[in-house]
Amino acid sequence: MSLDIGIIGLEMSGRTTIFNCLTSAEVGTGRSRQEENIGIARVPDARVDRLREMFKSRKAVYGEVKYVDLGASLKNAARDFNLSGKLLSELGATDALLCVVRAFTDESVPHPQGSIDPARDIEAMELELAFSDMAIIERRLERLASQLKGAKAADRPALEGEAVILGKIKTGLEEGVPLRRQPLDGEELKKISSYQFLSAKPMLTVLNIGEEELGQAKQMEESLNLRFGDEGHRVVALAGKLEMELAGLDDESKQAFLDDFQIEEPGLSKVIRTSFDLLGLISFLTTGEDESRAWPIPRNTPAPQAAGRIHSDIERGFIRAEVVHYDDLVRLGGYAGARKEGVFRVEGKNYIVEDGDVINFLFNV
Ligand SMILES: Nc1nc2c(ncn2[C@@H]2O[C@H](COP(=O)(O)OP(=O)(O)O)[C@@H](O)[C@H]2O)c(=O)[nH]1
Ligand SMILES: [Mg+2]
């Protein structure tokens, strides 16, 4: 199971162009036809190579991020209910959102709002996510109200509790606070997790700039981050069309190209790294004869859910996790050394997996 990131944004903002950058795909751009593109990007990780050497694994497998370019826009979806249901369930199932916002100027590419204004578009996208969540909450609150009328006394507290939480987050949304920024405790988060609210998801806004704006990229990024950035939302500038052309080049030409345009880090690695660092994603590792491998997961994932990334059976039948941190394993030269030092641990189902944990899951199905 890979990590899924859904690409959203206004029409013609460059979603498919950015998708091509990230996944080295060559999907046609500039089409208004609603089509869905799915592609995989590999996450470079030197720890996987080291583990492979140490444990003589046959292969190295890197973390993968699956990008889904949904093609459809939330706004159009609101008008067309069928599309809305499909789009919402697909978006709801993603781990994070990548929102493309147009900054490039090009007379030949129409903007749905008629002018180029990234701040306005970021605000509009935040609003669309909030509206989508509010619609879900309102429907659920109506159902809860009717359920409460006929509820047995024993069932009332749970239903009432849910209504209180939903009412609270709805008020927050109405005040313009996305769910990811609302102060909810663990119990509250657990109660609402099944709704897959969109404004609760970590979001990376990719500012799609033209090559003539490369000189101001850092400054544009900074000012938009000041205004919109938070723990779960970052803005990164990327020259989409220019960097799409990179994907087809060999390494040497790529470097020359980057140097020519004074791009410090290519878009692919910048977006993936930022997705990981700033959207709260980490990797745990597994190693064995067959393969050494990195598995991306959201930070604060308990061991069974982390195991579920490998296979749902391991999550279902989870018994315990044998854990050594990568740094300890390398420092002590292997498992024997790690056991001797006491850094080899056995952890249960409440263990929160950390970046760089090398894990062996024990399970029973
Ligand atoms: N000049 C310029 N055009 C771009 C850039 N990014 C995308 N485009 C063009 O904008 C149009 C829409 O791009 P596309 O990726 O299909 O947008 P989508 O509708 O959001 O998927 C296409 O004609 C692209 O070539 C860019 O950075 N600069
Ligand atoms: Mg497209």
Is 15 a pocket residue for ligand 1 (Cβ < 6 Å)?
yes
Fold of the 3-278 domain: Rossmann fold (3.40.50)
Which residue has tokens 């959203």? 8
Query: Residue 308 and residue 317: Cα distance in Å, rounded?
Result: 10
Query: Residue 74 and residue 91: Cα distance in Å, rounded?
Result: 10
pLDDT more than 70, % of the chain? 96
Q: Mind listing the pLDDT tens digit for each residue in 12-63?
A: 999 999 999 888 888 888 876 567 899 998 887 889 999 999 999 999 999 8
Distances (CA, A) of 237 to 163, 208, 248, 260: 40, 6, 21, 18
CATH 3.40.50.150 assigned to 300-363: no
Q: Rounded to two decimals, what is the model's pTM?
A: 0.81
Bridge pairing between strands 291-298 and 281-287: antiparallel
> What are the residues whose beta carbon lies below 5 Å from ligand 2 (ion)?
15-16
Is 85 a pocket residue for ligand 1 (Cβ < 6 Å)?
no
| Cα first-last separation, the chain | 19
Provide the β-strand partners of residue 38.
68
pLDDT for 82 beyond 60: no
Tell me the ligand closest to 34's alpha carbon. 2
pLDDT band for position 286 (50/70/90)? very high
* Segments of the chain assigned to CATH 3.40.50.300: 3-278
* Segments of the chain assigned to CATH 3.10.20.30: 300-363
Q: Mind listing the pLDDT tens digit for each residue in 187-225?
A: 888 888 888 899 999 999 999 999 999 889 999 999 999
Q: Mind listing the pLDDT tens digit for each residue in 345-364?
A: 999 999 999 999 999 999 99
Q: Which of 109, 212, 213, 236 to mutate to test the pocket of ligand 1 (most atoms within 8 A of CB)?
A: 109
pLDDT for 88 beyond 90: no
Residues 6+ apart with CB under 8 A from 23: 39, 40, 41, 67
Q: Which of 7, 8, 11, 12 to mutate to test the pocket of ligand 1 (most atoms within 8 A of CB)?
A: 12
- What is the distance in A from the centroid of ligand 1 to the CA of 263? 19
Which amino acid, residue 36? E
Q: Mind listing the pLDDT tens digit for each residue in 215-264?
A: 899 999 999 999 999 888 999 999 999 988 887 788 788 888 888 888 87
DSSP letters, 5-26, are: EEEEESTTSSHHHHHHHHHT--
Tell me the ligand closest to 71's alpha carbon. 2
Is 240 a pocket residue for ligand 1 (Cβ < 6 Å)?
yes
pLDDT for 79 beyond 70: no
Give the range among 110-114, 144-148, 153-157 with minimum mean pLDDT: 110-114
